[in-house]
Structure 1
Amino acid sequence: MSAPTPGHTSWSARFRANRARLDAAQKPGNGVPAYTRWVNRRGARLVAAAGAASGMTPNGITFISLAFSVAGMVALVALPDRVWAGIPVAVLLATGYLLDSADGQLARLTGTSSKAGEWLDHVVDAFRTPAIHFTLALALMVHRPHLWWLAVVAVVHGLVASGQFLSQILAEAFIRTGGGTQRRGGTLRSFVLLPTDPGTLCWSFLLWGLPLAHGGLYALLTAVAIAHSAISLTRRHADLRALDEAGKATRA
């Protein structure tokens, strides 16, 4: 391989420089679910560094992320109901989630952050989040109609996930514009929230080929998601009411 010409930086050098910049400019991980915090975000930094070195755009990463997620959902329905079938499903969904974390990092790294890009990222997530659960419900009715009750559980989980996503996005926006501060929690909270982590859901499909194991785990994840959502919605509403009261006191 020939040496880089003067004034030209090699791909590997650009990658290393980009990775170092990302490592030095990470968002606080306090309270972020454990897989997202220590696995997904770290992997996403590598993707973002490589993407910047290759001239990729954040929106390009977003659409590639969506493509992997859709491929995982199609595989869940289309593949035969075999022990191995969950492996490609889990890998595709987890890759989609990894890339979902990379587009924002790439935007910050390249200075191309925009409201339109952030909007696109959130819209894709708003469709993808419940779609995984609804696809599971469809796959159960196609391959395992005797587990119809688990398909109902999947629909409920999808609705809860959709509502929780909207609640989180809106509350964070209202608190930010209102001058409030987010309550994040620490390392313990990251582990407590592991069952609600999208990464946990993605890799849970490794057990898809073992109906009893997967059904039990998924039902447990759903119960935790419902409990977490109830607590989170109550807390978010209290935070916003406190922000409203503080605003009234300021104006009085």
Structure 2
Amino acid sequence: MTGSGTGARAAYQELARAQKSGAGVPWYMRAVNRRLGRGLAAVAAQGRLTPNHMTAASFAAFLGGATVLVTARPGITMAIGAMLLLQLGFALDSADGQLARLRGGGSPAGEWLDHVVDSARHLLFHLAILVGLHRFTDVSDAVLLIPLAFALVATVRFFAQILAEQLAGRDPVAGRGAVPRFHAWIQTPADTGLVNLVVLLWPWSTAFLCAYGLLGVLNALLLAATLVRRHRELLSLSAGAA
């Protein structure tokens, strides 16, 4: 037992030394989620768990949280449980990549699976909000368009980011000096950890909709900025190649 604990601590420290740059990464993702993922990866490395196992566990935890939103009547205990499951899923999503690094690097198949699960999560979270609002509140049909719009924004932005990185053929993680400090704060509304925390307001539908709707608007602005920036980057690559 002692040997296992020592091995986990050593693995945690090794991952801390090899951590990706935090430049431009939102606060929760950088300061909380990566550390949680690092700890989960260090523990998983002591057994036979693979990065794909962590990806599957991540999706299972997320589905658990989404299921609570869809099936349980709004309440404080319910909201806390849903939020914790969603945050666990997010931490495990960080753990799969860190476990892959600990074991010498991931594979194209593993990276593909991770992106597929991420894309499903971006869509299903907002659909769960939609169904929960429809089942347990008396909001108007117009209000139900908010999670639909948010789902569209989140899904398109995720796809635009991933595809641009693949087409550019470069590492998506920028160096610390390449990203302005304020960039991390600009990205805050898109931080999955922050969006998950808003679920704590679920028992109070008006407060929840105000916070959730504000995040939706800010994410729509981020989507517009992302589309412009990524398109310009790809145009510059084309001009350079010519």
Name the residue aligned to 2:228: 234
1:181: Cα distance to partner?
A: 9.1
Question: How far does residue 56 in structure 1 lie from its aligned partner after superposition?
Answer: 1.3
Percent of aligned pairs sharing the same letter: 36
Equivalent position of 2:72 in the other structure: 79
Q: CA, structure 1 residues 23+83, in 2 after alignment: closer, same or farther (shift >3 Å)?
A: closer
- Is 1:61–2:59 an aligned residue pair? no
The aligned residue for residue 15 of structure 1 is 8
Q: Is the 8 A contact 1:97 1:198 kept in 2?
A: yes
Where does residue 205 of structure 2 map in the other structure?
211
2:231 is aligned with 1:246: no
CA change 1:150–1:84 in 2 (3 A) is farther
1:46 aligns with 2:46: no
Classify 1:193/1:181 alpha carbon distance in 2 versus 1 (closer, same or farther; 3 Å). closer
* Secondary structure, counterpart of 2:56 in structure 1: helix
In structure 2, distance between residues paired with 1:176 and 1:182: 13
Contact 1:180 1:243 survives alignment (8 Å) = no
When structure 1 is superposed on structure 2, of 108-117 and 67-76 the one drifting more is 108-117
- Give me the whole-angstrom Cα distance separating, in 1, the residues matched to 2:77 and 2:90: 21
Cross-structure match for 1:7 = none
Q: Which runs of 5+ in 1 are unaligned?
A: 5-9
DSSP-derived class of the 1:104 partner: helix
- Helix, strand or coil at the partner of 1:145: coil
Contact 1:140 1:150 in 2 (8 A): no
Secondary structure, aligned partner of 1:191: helix
Report the CA distance between 1:224 and its aligned residue.
0.2
Matched AA of 1:223: V
Q: 1:163 to 1:174 in 2, by over 3 A?
A: same
Partner residue in 2 for 1:94: 87
Larger Rg: 1
Paired residue total: 240
C-alpha spacing 1:40/1:147, structure 2 compared with 1 (3 Å): farther
Describe the SS at the equivalent of 2:18: coil
1:199-230 alpha-carbon deviations (Å, 9 max, x no partner) = 11111101101111111000100000000100
How far apart are the structure 1 equivalents of 2:157 and 2:63?
A: 21
- Indicate yes or no: 2:96 matched with 1:103: yes
Matches within 5 A, 1:191-206: 191-206=185-200
Which string of whole-angstrom CA distances, capped at 9 and with x for unpartnered residues, describes residues 119-138 of structure 1? 00000111111110011011
TM-score (norm 2): 0.94
Question: Residue 175 of structure 1 contacts residue 182 of structure 1 at CA under 8 Å; is this kept in 2?
Answer: no
8 Å CA contact retained: 1:150, 1:219: no
1:144 to partner: Cα distance: 1.1
147-156 or 117-126, larger mean C-alpha shift: 147-156
When residues 21 and 203 of structure 1 are mapped into structure 2, their CA distance, relative to the original with a 3 A threshold, is same
Q: How does 1:100-139 map to 2 (within 5 A)?
A: 100-139=93-132
> 5+ residue gaps in structure 2?
none
Task: State the alpha-carbon separation in 2 of the partners of residues 58 and 180 from structure 1.
Answer: 20
Letter in 2 for 1:174: L
Specify which of 134, 138, 141 is matched with residue 145 of structure 1. 138
Residues 1:176 and 2:169 aligned together: yes
Could you tell me whether the CA contact under 8 Å between 2:21 and 2:174 is conserved in 1? no
Match of 2:181 in 1: 187
CA contact (8 A) 1:83 1:210 kept: no
Change (3 A) 1:91 1:81: same
What code does the residue aligned with 1:195 have? P
